[in-house]
Amino acid sequence: MNEGPTQKADAAVARNPGGNSEAADPPPDIIIRLTQVEKSFGALKVLRGINLEIARGEVVVVCGPSGSGKSTMIRCINGLETINGGEIWIEGKRLAAGRFQRLNAKVGMVFQSFNLFPHLTIMQNLILAPTRVLNLSKEQGLERAKKLLARVGILVKADDFPDTLSGGQQQRAAIARALCMEPEIMLFDEPTSALDPEMINDVLDVMRGLAHDGMTMIVVTHEMGFAREVADRIVFMDDGQIVEMANPTTFFDNPKEERTKRFISKILTH
């Protein structure tokens, strides 16, 4: 019987339960690997020896207090930030420390603030990168974009400009735009934190659908209901380090670290 993402996640935790990892080519089922990753902004150390392996098809939720390094970590994975030390491997290719990388078209990213181009329609936002980077024809780009806008439930907004859409609709458009590049990995940086509460579930439903379809996902979020329901594994960060990682049941019901227990106690009682 083939391993599912949860079994592969357990194997990843077993290989790297909380820390040390020797530099070597990652196993074939590991699509993302971080080894002793360091990141500083001047004198401020933001990431301190991060070790993390993510299996193909796995959904990993990253949580922790503000300033713990969550967003910086996924920005480093996508090449938006350089690393000062360690290694990041994406699909068997190593990102070099200290050098900006050409953005990997197989890694899609969705930001808290949508980042849609305001002077372009939703459809134009979606087809821009596929036609320029992947060399799709305009007709191919339009066909792909229409399918994705229908998938996220906003095809009727295709010819509208971003500022005429609600926050939830803009975020769904941003997800569709990332999917237009046909990525194998999706990174989400607090995708619902800027939304009104009634709009959050529409975005989470799209993300649930991606997880159900087997997309490899790293999600930085404080939506703990989503984490418990969808994640194969939860990673808790504090002060630039991974404090604990476990499956959702273990994480919420039987965390090992005192710092994790305090965090869970606060987020579940507020």
**Whole-number Å distance between alpha carbons of 195 and 147:** 24
Start-to-end C-alpha separation, the chain: 42
Q: Quick one: pLDDT at residue 11?
A: 52
Region 35-47 average pLDDT: 96
pTM of the model as a whole: 0.88
Q: Is residue 21's pLDDT more than 50?
A: no
What distance in Å separates the CA atoms of residue 165 and residue 188, rounded to the nearest whole number? Answer: 20
Q: Residue 171: is its pLDDT beyond 80?
A: yes
pLDDT tens column, 77-136: 998 999 999 999 998 888 767 655 566 778 999 999 889 999 999 999 999 999 999 999
What are the backbone angles phi and psi of residue 220, rounded to the nearest 5°?
-85, 115
Strand spans (E) along the chain: 30-41, 44-55, 59-63, 85-90, 93-95, 107-110, 185-189, 216-220, 233-238, 241-246
Confidence band for 28, pLDDT divided at 50, 70 and 90: low
pLDDT at 19: 44
Give the per-residue pLDDT at 2.
43
Q: How many helices (H) and strands (E) does the chain have?
A: 9, 10
Average pLDDT, the chain: 89
- Amino acid of residue 188: F
**By C-alpha distance, which of 181, 189, 185, 161 is closest to 73?**
189
pLDDT reported for residue 50: 97
Give the pLDDT score at 24. Answer: 54
Looking at the chain, the whole-number percentage of residues with pLDDT higher than 90 is 78
- How far apart CA 45 and CA 159 sit, in angstroms, is 44
